[in-house]
Structure 1
Amino acid sequence: MRRTVIIPVVLHALVAVAALLWLLWYFIPTGNVFKGLATLLILLLAGWTVFKNCRSEEPTSDVTLPAAELPLPDTQGPVVLVCGDMLEVLFHGSPLRKTAQGWWLQVGDISRLTDVVRSIQTQFPRQVGQLSMMYRCLPDHHQDEAVLRSTLKTLRQQSNQIKSLTGFTLPLVVSTEFSGPETPWIIVRGDKPIVCPVNDSPQTFIDWQQADDNILALPAVSQAFSYIRNTLTDELEKPDRLTPPVRAFSVTMRLGVGSPEIRSVWSDWLCSRTCLHFSREPAQPLHTGLFPDAVLPLLAPFASTVQGGQRTRRLVLLMWLCALTALGISALNNRDLIRHVSASLQRWNAIPMNHYRPKAESLAALKQDALQLERWQRQGEPLRYSLGYYPGQRLWLALQQAIDTWTPPPAPEPKPLPKIVRLDSMSLFDSGKSALKDGSTKILVNALVGIKAKPGWLIVVSGHTDNTGSVQLNQTLSLQRAEAVRNWMRDTGDVPESCFAVQGYGDSRPIASNDTPDGRAHNRRVEISLVPQADACRLPGAKHASQDVRDVSTKEMEK
């Protein structure tokens, strides 16, 4: 394999892979697993394409035209590949005819067109864009219309193969010459025929037919046009499942050339429609105007040197497609970003302000979106958004305005701490005794004004002593004193016993030092407090705590 073949193929493949991976990894919003599999597939296809192209670069045909038969590399005009009938009369033994406006190159057999183009592409690749084709048809020399149509099918096949080889369709000129009254070249490009007399300026067909005796040739000229339309262009342009149709770039025609045969497709056509029949006497040979040179200026705008080969053009097309696709995907990504932020804002606006929990969840989503947009403003937006109209600044402002309207819920009122009443044991009991003194009732009544039984609260009565005496004795004494206070509250206030909890701690929970008389006096105490506890203190006809909680929850939901 030649090195000059491998290097361009590999470079083109690398650029194509880079363009596809750039599009895949930076713009297509898919997962990394899919991107990894797609990358592997792209690399495999690139390797297979390199191998295939390197194999296809090897010469597959033995047809190689000598350099003398090819146009010079500095040729600027169109190069017309001529094939068809009796080309020896045109070229007079020389395969190349040069004019001031272009070149005529003899190909001969139609089946050689693709090989000639391949040879030119190999030796002069830049001149492929200057190539055109001309099919010369002499209906007077064809006795069988089916054979003529078969030749036109071959021309269609060659045109299709050349398109696959070069990447574009070469312009096709159909040149016909008929026996009959002598006329100059008539060139049809579009709908208006142009008559091109030799050594004279072109003129319209209407002006030409009104001059001298040219009107006498109109029946034959009209039938010649009809024959071209119904036979030649019809065969080239008719739909075919195997071979794409070929539309002629232009049609050139003239009459009065050649010797008519006794029976030919042209004579049969003309006689069956007009009853005209021309003599078989050979016409005077024409030494000028053998080629329709007037068609070369029409081909000139379509003939230009090619910048790079077919592979380069395909690579440029792929890069353009990747750029356009990236632009479209970037616009779609920006549209999805706008929809996402809009949905978050709509959810925020739909939630009432007094529904604090869902409002806080929506606020967290808004803050997350705003934080992401703010980070993109500092660091630059991702490439997948950059090619489209990126609305980050506008969306960030809308999010900030929504966030600024947030009003936090009012702080809940602090729950009142359980009220603790401390009673001096020496004011209620005699030393070492657990029976209430006679004068203790007034002290208990004044101290226990704020202690009231209510559903869901437990009245805890706890007794405490100093560290004088044994631990067991102090524990028993503290419990008995707490029970004495409990019994008084139960009997005096008609409170059910289920509302009470009695505890005796002895000297285990001092509130002052037992080393001093004053500290021991503080430690000898009875404490009464209210503690929340479900299902505690069930008063007759009162709801318990759990029911209160359900009622409160129901009211909150109704709000």
Structure 2
Amino acid sequence: MLALILCLFWFPAGAAFKVISAIVIVLIAGVAWFRTGRAVRALREHHNMDALLAALPGENYRLPIVLTAGEGIEWLFEGAPLRDTTQGCYIRVPALAEIGPLAELLISVRPEWASQLNAMLVLFPEQQDDLPVMGVQIREFRFQVSRLKQICGQRPKVMLIGYLNGHHAPWFNCNAGSCEARIWAGIQSSHELSDWLRSGTPAEQDRKLRQAVRFEAWIRWMKKYVIPECETADQPCAPLRPLATGLAFVARPPAANNLWQRWVIDKTTLIPATISESSDDEANRFPDPLLGLLPERRGYPPKVRALGYAMLMALVFLVAAMFCSSWNNQQLLHEVTSDLDRYLAIDMNNYEPKAEALKQLKQDALLLEDYQRNGVPSRLGFWLYPGERLYPPLMAAIRSYQPPPQPKEMPPAEPIRLDSMSLFEVGKSELKEGSTKVLVDALFAIKGKPGWIVLITGHTDATGDANANMKLSLARAEAVRDWMIKTSDISATCFAVRGYGATQPVATNSTDAGRAKNRRVEISLVPDAEACQPIARDPD
């Protein structure tokens, strides 16, 4: 959940990447939740765990809890789910792969046992005939111990226990990192091997010697086939270093052509003798004396551990969120300062780039104002937001902008008015003789230029038919235009003509003087972006 919140609100990435990351996180969490409970559910379905849960000691039980797995488990427990002794509680694990799920099940019903769980691998070399299979079992046990460490929150102690066919004898033990063998005559009584061999009658000493020789041979067999599988570095889990190894002699008949027999024959060419007894000491089957070697581990209660994990995750979350917030604020600071530096580097007289830089500054200012008005987003939080110190210099730069000077508007040129009577005969549209001087003076006053059009308009008085006057005024304007095109170098694209008849009088039509003023031709320059453009010429 914290990872999802961190991704959505603080992670410095785009919206699409955040959505994809959130989906991936949800899928991973769902798969992890499903797989976490699947193993425990499978354990309940395939094995009758009700009998085990009913037989468990109470919540206040503080002796070692030993998860026992390996070869000969059914014989060892005689079908019982657990064995509770004065030194500890042995819990039968139906299969090596179920050590982890069974530990999860136990901790779910006995959370206080997390620091008491240990693991024990039972080896029966006289009941196995396939060395690679035994190697796979040891590696699986090693993997399950690493899982047990994750489940319990601390490394569990491990014991390797072996059984060989023989007369009843005390437990033989060899601690990790020590070659000294000890004999456990009782739960609290142990002797060095040399002292134990010297005690008893000559017949007993002879039997003890044979058992000691077999124990030494078993130690060499363990160092060759078992210990390397526990400590090899080619496995994905950590090396397994047992706290102790133990051996007991029981009256269980061996299988034919077993691993122990083949090894003894290879070393001595002798076939090991088989001891058959009516029964063996049932109490001697479990290594109670060796449980005293397990250190007392109190650890933290599960609730305290859960609280510690929660505090640790919250701390990691806060550190990650602050890191992402710092990154986001640095990006914001870099973007705004870069825009500001770019604006300041452009000369004020370079108007277009300066205006573009100003536009970006205004966008930055609007963003900071939005944060100030509506609140800083969480991705910029944790008191790292730099907007308060960025805004004043940003606004000062915006206010310092000097827009380009506005071009002076030229007053519209006064139109040139030509008296129609000096250009045309009454009712005529052909230029009369003697009009050239008037037209030349007008031509000097008018000069075509790009973006401007020479508008020639014809006007009449109100005498006569209106339609005839309209046509007459247009024809007179065209006559003046044609003369100017023919006489000057002004392009035809620079001209436009209109005929208004008597619709735009400049004086009254009730007097002769007024009607004379209304009969006129006007020439003016009118702005038009597409007018009077130079004609592209073919280079050929």
TM-score of the pair, normalised by structure 2 = 0.57
CA distance in 2, matches of 1:60, 1:194: 43
Matched, 1:124 2:120: no
Among 365, 370, 380, the residue aligned to 1:370: 365
CA distance in 1, matches of 2:430, 2:260: 147
CA distance in 2, matches of 1:473, 1:248: 120
**2:229 partner letter:** E
| Secondary structure of 1:105's aligned partner | strand
CA distance in 2, matches of 1:119, 1:440: 120
1:251: which partner in 2?
243
**1:251 partner letter:** L
Among 229, 236, 239, the residue aligned to 1:235: 229
| Secondary structure of 2:230's aligned partner | helix
State how 1:151-550 maps to structure 2 within 5 Å: 153-154=136-137, 156-158=139-141, 160=143, 168=151, 170-174=156-160, 187-188=175-176, 229-238=223-232, 247-248=239-240, 250-252=242-244, 291-292=289-290, 295-297=293-295, 300=297, 303-307=299-303, 356-386=351-381, 391-393=386-388, 400=395, 403=398, 406-422=401-417, 451-453=445-447, 460-471=455-466, 505-512=500-507, 514=509, 523-531=518-526, 545-546=533-534
Whether the 8 Å CA contact 1:486–1:502 is kept in 2: the answer is yes
CA distance in 2, matches of 1:163, 1:364: 62
Deviation, 1:29, is 2.9
Per-residue Cα deviation, 1:367-424 (whole angstroms, up to 9, x for no partner)? 3243223312322344455479655556656755664564423322325523323466
**2:83 partner letter:** P
CA distance in 1, matches of 2:135, 2:407: 95
1:3: which partner in 2?
none
Matched, 1:95 2:95: no
| Secondary structure of 2:462's aligned partner | coil
Using the TM superposition, name which of 49-58 and 355-364 deviates more: 49-58
Tell me the percent identity.
29
Matched, 1:29 2:14: yes
Change (3 A) 1:58 1:21: farther
**1:360 partner letter:** A
| Secondary structure of 2:46's aligned partner | coil
| Secondary structure of 1:375's aligned partner | helix
**1:95 partner letter:** R
1:541: which partner in 2?
none
Whether the 8 Å CA contact 2:454–2:524 is kept in 1: the answer is yes
**1:237 partner letter:** E
Whether the 8 Å CA contact 2:159–2:245 is kept in 1: the answer is no
Using the TM superposition, name which of 401-410 and 428-437 deviates more: 428-437
TM-score of the pair, normalised by structure 1 = 0.55
CA distance in 1, matches of 2:42, 2:214: 50
CA distance in 1, matches of 2:25, 2:241: 45
Change (3 A) 1:383 1:147: same
Whether the 8 Å CA contact 2:8–2:18 is kept in 1: the answer is no
Using the TM superposition, name which of 374-383 and 39-48 deviates more: 39-48
Change (3 A) 1:229 1:343: farther
CA distance in 1, matches of 2:401, 2:180: 81
CA distance in 2, matches of 1:518, 1:481: 21
Whether the 8 Å CA contact 2:63–2:89 is kept in 1: the answer is no
CA distance in 2, matches of 1:435, 1:237: 122
CA distance in 1, matches of 2:376, 2:332: 12
Change (3 A) 1:50 1:131: closer
Deviation, 1:509, is 0.8
CA distance in 1, matches of 2:149, 2:365: 54
| Secondary structure of 1:291's aligned partner | helix
| Secondary structure of 1:546's aligned partner | coil
| Secondary structure of 2:506's aligned partner | coil
Per-residue Cα deviation, 1:509-534 (whole angstroms, up to 9, x for no partner)? 12355468886575454433345679
Matched, 1:70 2:70: no
Whether the 8 Å CA contact 1:238–1:245 is kept in 2: the answer is no
**1:232 partner letter:** V
Deviation, 1:164, is 6.2
CA distance in 2, matches of 1:323, 1:331: 12
Change (3 A) 1:518 1:220: farther
| Secondary structure of 1:505's aligned partner | strand
Whether the 8 Å CA contact 2:68–2:90 is kept in 1: the answer is yes
CA distance in 1, matches of 2:64, 2:418: 122
Deviation, 1:61, is 0.5
| Secondary structure of 1:120's aligned partner | helix
| Secondary structure of 2:243's aligned partner | strand
Per-residue Cα deviation, 1:335-379 (whole angstroms, up to 9, x for no partner)? 665676577567757876555445434443443243223312322
Change (3 A) 1:107 1:522: same
CA distance in 2, matches of 1:395, 1:230: 72
| Secondary structure of 1:59's aligned partner | helix
Whether the 8 Å CA contact 1:80–1:132 is kept in 2: the answer is yes
Using the TM superposition, name which of 75-84 and 473-482 deviates more: 473-482
Deviation, 1:234, is 1.5
Unmatched 5+ stretches in structure 1: 1-15, 199-207, 209-218, 274-284, 537-543, 549-559
Per-residue Cα deviation, 1:104-149 (whole angstroms, up to 9, x for no partner)? 4364988697486476356435534531123477x9xx66997798
CA distance in 2, matches of 1:119, 1:36: 33
Whether the 8 Å CA contact 2:4–2:25 is kept in 1: the answer is no
CA distance in 2, matches of 1:529, 1:122: 101
Change (3 A) 1:433 1:95: closer
**1:235 partner letter:** E
**2:372 partner letter:** Q
Matched, 1:80 2:72: no
1:202: which partner in 2?
none
Whether the 8 Å CA contact 1:490–1:496 is kept in 2: the answer is yes
Cα RMSD, aligned residues only: 7.2
Using the TM superposition, name which of 381-390 and 410-419 deviates more: 381-390
Per-residue Cα deviation, 1:252-276 (whole angstroms, up to 9, x for no partner)? 3689x979xxxx979x99xx89xxx
